[in-house]
């Protein structure tokens, strides 16, 4: 993947394909340690140990629609290429947690990319219902909660261009928030300044 936003989208899509009803994604930075942590947690079907061990092999996939599975192997490579870590925790019937840690000051640190577009793409996926995306650092945290949006509108209304634009703008605002800025909490966005 060219950037982390595409990796995040790919792993979230894996969660949807694993019949997850709840997906929690986060990208958090720890400037004092020069680290970025990306996590995707779901309550999908999970994986047996032997499948989890093969999951980072680019020539292995459980999807019948393709012959290779590159999302997890590329994410693992990107993280470890910066001197970071990559872990998968999973249990059959209990879900999966994918965690990648990057050293932000490493020359091979990937760009974040267009996080708002990637998150919006996952929000629009037909299998996406209970989804939260958290982004921030030790001082400011932005939380997008799709459930808050779906309390106001129906899932079908997400196909409306004006609503999609509104959600995209909400995501952009939350992702781009700066320390010390005043952000009012609105439906679907919660900002926490520490």
Whole-structure pTM value? 0.87
Query: What band does 191 get if pLDDT is binned at 50, 70 and 90?
Result: low
Report yes or no on 173 lying in a domain. no
> For position 49, what pLDDT does the model report?
87
53-57, 95-99, 159-163, range with the lowest pLDDT:
53-57
What would the 3-class secondary structure string for 151-185 be? CCCCHHHHHCHHHHHHHHHHHHHHHCCCCCCCCCC
In a domain, 115, yes or no: yes
Position 101 pLDDT exceeds 80: yes
> Does residue 181 lie in a domain region?
no
Cα distances (Å, whole numbers) of residue 170 to 115, 120, 142:
12, 10, 10
189 pLDDT higher than 70:
no
Number of domains in the chain: 1
Residue 104 sits in a domain whose CATH number is: 3.30.565.10
Flag whether 17 is in a domain. Answer: yes
Mean pLDDT of 140-151: 94
188 pLDDT tier (thresholds 50, 70, 90):
low
Does residue 156 lie within any of the structural domains?
Answer: no
Q: Is 146 a member of any domain?
A: no
CA atoms within 13 A on the CB side of 148: 13
Q: By residue range, what is the domain housing residue 30?
A: 4-139
55 part of a folded domain: yes
pLDDT at 161: 95
Average of pLDDT values for 9-37? Answer: 95
pLDDT, mean over the chain: 88
**pLDDT class for 193, splitting at 50, 70, 90?**
very low
pLDDT band at residue 57, thresholds of 50, 70 and 90? confident
Going by pLDDT thresholds of 50, 70 and 90, the confidence category of residue 30 is very high
In a domain, 170, yes or no: no
- Looking at residue 190, its pLDDT comes to 54
């Amino acid at each position: 993947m060219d950037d982390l936003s595409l990796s995040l989208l790919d792993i979230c899509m894996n969660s949807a394909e694993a019949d997850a009803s709840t997906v929690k994604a986060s990208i958090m930075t720890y400037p004092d340690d020069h680290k970025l942590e990306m996590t995707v947690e779901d309550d999908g079907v999970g994986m047996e140990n032997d499948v989890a061990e093969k999951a980072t092999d680019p020539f292995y996939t459980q999807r019948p629609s393709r012959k290779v599975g590159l999302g997890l192997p590329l994410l693992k490579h990107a993280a470890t290429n910066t001197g970071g870590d990559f872990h998968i925790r999973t249990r059959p019937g209990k879900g999966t947690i994918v965690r990648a840690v990057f050293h932000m000051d490493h020359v091979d640190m990937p760009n974040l990319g267009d996080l708002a577009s990637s998150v919006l793409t996952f929000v629009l996926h037909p299998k996406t219902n209970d989804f939260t995306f958290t982004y921030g650092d030790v001082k400011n945290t932005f939380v997008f909660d799709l459930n808050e949006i779906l309390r106001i509108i129906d899932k079908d209304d997400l196909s409306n261009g004006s609503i999609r634009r509104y959600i995209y703008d909400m995501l952009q605002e939350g992702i781009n928030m700066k320390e010390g800025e005043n952000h009012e909490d609105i439906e679907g966005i919660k900002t926490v300044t520490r």
